[in-house]
Chains A and B, each alone.
Chain A
Amino acid sequence: MIRLQDHLTFTLRSLTRTRFRTTMQLVAMAIGVLAVVLLTGIGEGGRRFVMAEFASLGNDVLVMLPGRKETTGGLPPLTGEGTRDITLEDAQSLMRISGVERIAPIVVGISRLSISGLSRDSLVLGTTEDFFSIRDLAFSQGQAFTTREGSRSRSECILGATLRDELFGPKRALGQWINVADYRCRVTGVLTDSGTGFGFDMSNALILPVDNAMQIFNTEGLFRVMIQIENIDAVPAMTTAVEQQMKLRHDGQLDITIVTPDSLLSAFNNVLLIMTFSVAGIAAISLLVAGVLIMNMTLIGVAQRRAEIGLLKALGASSKEVRLLFITEATLLATSGAVLGMLIAEFILWGLRFKFPEVPFATPLWASVSAIGVSAIAGILFSWIPAQKAAKLPPVLALQAQAGK
């Protein structure tokens, strides 16, 4: 009986001394695992990113937008076309509904900012003080709007962290004047770098009092109204109450849409599902391709080595020993290929996380485990079956398989 040490030496030698074949099989195996781990990692990262976006919105916030979308479940309209505006008065009237804790009207647009010769386009958001508490935004310097609403002298603005750095660099921003289109405002606060949320990258935004922003953009209509309610369980009731109020104010016409956290989630759920399925599909296809590659490489290997199997048997190895040699080799190869693929995938995911810190790219454990499992099994199975066949042959036939050498 062959000694364990010699068994391993023999298989290692056959791997290290047939470099081309070994490399090809390693690559095939690695690609399969790489594809699965990487794709699920990206898919899962995307999914978690979107979920986090919704979580940042808060569960107790309804969003009102102009226009009516009758079908539920689909994506709400992003622009209100051909319907009546939601005015600032409409928004303020909502505060009279009991159960509404805060509201924040929002207008958005892109405007040219300039300070002392430096100018750039930026996202400009008009809103009220309550916006910061609804969105849980904190200030690294200064504070929210200091003067009262309606006051003539309200030429104040607040900067997102990135925008602040871009406009002022190491210089002090607080108290500086910025031109927004043909308006001037003084910086009274800078937001902490709290990242994104609900589609807006707040760190790149300039925030103005809502009435100023409406004048800059020359609009009477709001883009959104955020409504924070007192009781999370009252979402359906509050939705109805807000709709009633708006209908009353708009001559009996229901021309607004209320988006609840749930309806947003269920709308996006379809998108997420499709994404998950397509990622899984691509991963499965890659694994299949890798499986075929592995099978071909192993079959070539065994055909080439059928004569060797015959020889080993002629020299006194039993069928069992010959089989074991081949299976050890295949297992070694499959496992190292799989681990290699996983390491490369993890490395790429690490790079992606580094590049896009806000998206949590990470492969769920089950995906890594099953990818390694499946390709290891494929590698072992595809070499085991032909090895089994070759080992069963009478040695003389196996020897005749490839005379020469």
Chain B
Amino acid sequence: MTEAMKTGAIKVRGVHRRFQLGDQTVHALNDINLDITQGEYISVMGPSGSGKSTLLNMLGLLDVPDEGEYWLAGEDTVPMSEEARAGYRRDHIGFVFQSYHLVPRLSARENMELPMVLAGIPPAERRKRLAPVIQRLGLTERADHKPEQLSGGQRQRVAIGRAIIMQAPLLLADEPTGNLDTHSGADVVELLEELNAQGITLIVVTHDMALGQRAKRRLRMVDGAIVSDDTFAIPPTEEPAV
């Protein structure tokens, strides 16, 4: 994998995603078109059930569109095999979920290490990569604790550590502060924005107006469609969101 290939350039064309709920069809994504360049900071807002998570899952290759094209790093991922998509997820995409999704029996360190283990990276190299990340996340003292021994904010930081450990160019966060108190939420947002400032593409789904407005580019979704896509000139303030 060369660095040139590792870009988060995204091109979405005419994507639809429908779910069958009983005898009803939910049109969760309705003709999505989107271009994202490396290093953008994008927020996705909209009422509950408008398809934000579905969009993020689709961008993260966790879900496949029923229709349309999704180009990532120069290739259309829709016709790919599930195995190939798994490789893309590993190398190109980092996820942060609202409910953390940590493996309960693994320590913070082991959770962060997991993507490298799955990628077959040798232990020495793993240790080398982990050390600075753990330090930066302020988890040095907590690295050997299990998730249940960590606070929500700490758990989310572990999840972020896991999301960036493979140096993926694209970081997707679905309501990353949804389960956190204001203070740890602000902490997490600060961390995400720091990562974005260093060049990672950051897409954040949120309910929180204040958080959404920190992004330079703001998408608004209603009923599965993107109803507005505005880019604001002002860069986000350095103050943490409150």
Residues of B within 8 A of A (CB): 57, 60, 62-64, 82-83, 86-87, 89-91, 95, 97, 99-106, 110, 114-115, 117-120, 122-123, 147, 162, 166
Q: Does A399 contact B (CB under 8 A)?
A: yes
Residues of A within 8 A of B (CB): 1-3, 6, 10, 13-14, 17-18, 307-308, 311-321, 394-396, 399, 403-405
Q: Please give the distance in Å from B117's CB to the nearest CB on chain A.
A: 5
Chain B residues lying within 8 Å of A3, measured Cβ to Cβ, are 117, 120, 122
Chain A residues lying within 8 Å of B82, measured Cβ to Cβ, are 318-319
* Given contact pairs A313-B86, A319-B83, A405 touches B101 in the complex (Cβ within 8 A): yes
Task: Point out the residue from B62, B91, B120 that lies within 8 Å of A396, measured CB to CB.
Answer: B62
A308–B103 contact, CB under 8 A?
A: yes
B95–A2 contact, CB under 8 A?
A: no
Task: Point out the residue from B64, B118, B122 that lies within 8 Å of A394, measured CB to CB.
Answer: B64
Q: Please give the distance in Å from B217's CB to the nearest CB on chain A.
A: 24
Task: Point out the residue from B60, B83, B110 that lies within 8 Å of A314, measured CB to CB.
Answer: B60
Q: Which of A311, A315, A396, A399 has the most CB of B within 10 A?
A: A315
Chain A residues lying within 8 Å of B162, measured Cβ to Cβ, are 315
Q: Which 5 A-B pairs have the closest CB atoms?
A: A316-B90, A17-B105, A396-B62, A318-B86, A318-B83
Q: Please give the distance in Å from B51's CB to the nearest CB on chain A.
A: 13
> What is the CA–CA distance of A395 and B104 in the complex, to the nearest angstrom?
18
Q: Please give the distance in Å from B154's CB to the nearest CB on chain A.
A: 14
Chain A residues lying within 8 Å of B104, measured Cβ to Cβ, are 405
Known contacts A321-B118, A394-B63, then 8 further A-B pairs from the complex at CB < 8 Å, ordered by chain A residue: A307-B101, A315-B90, A316-B115, A318-B83, A319-B86, A394-B62, A396-B63, A404-B99
Task: Point out the residue from B95, B105, B115, B119 that lies within 8 Å of A13, measured CB to CB.
Answer: B105
A311–B101 contact, CB under 8 A?
A: yes
> What is the CA–CA distance of A62 and B224 in the complex, to the nearest angstrom?
96
Q: Please give the distance in Å from A23's CB to the nearest CB on chain B.
A: 14
Chain A, residue nearest B90 (CB): A316
A317–B118 contact, CB under 8 A?
A: yes
B62–A399 contact, CB under 8 A?
A: yes
Q: Please give the distance in Å from B163's CB to the nearest CB on chain A.
A: 9
Q: Which of B57, B60, B117 has the most CB of A within 10 A?
A: B117
B83–A320 contact, CB under 8 A?
A: yes
B105–A405 contact, CB under 8 A?
A: no
Q: Please give the distance in Å from B151's CB to the nearest CB on chain A.
A: 14
Chain B residues lying within 8 Å of A311, measured Cβ to Cβ, are 101, 103
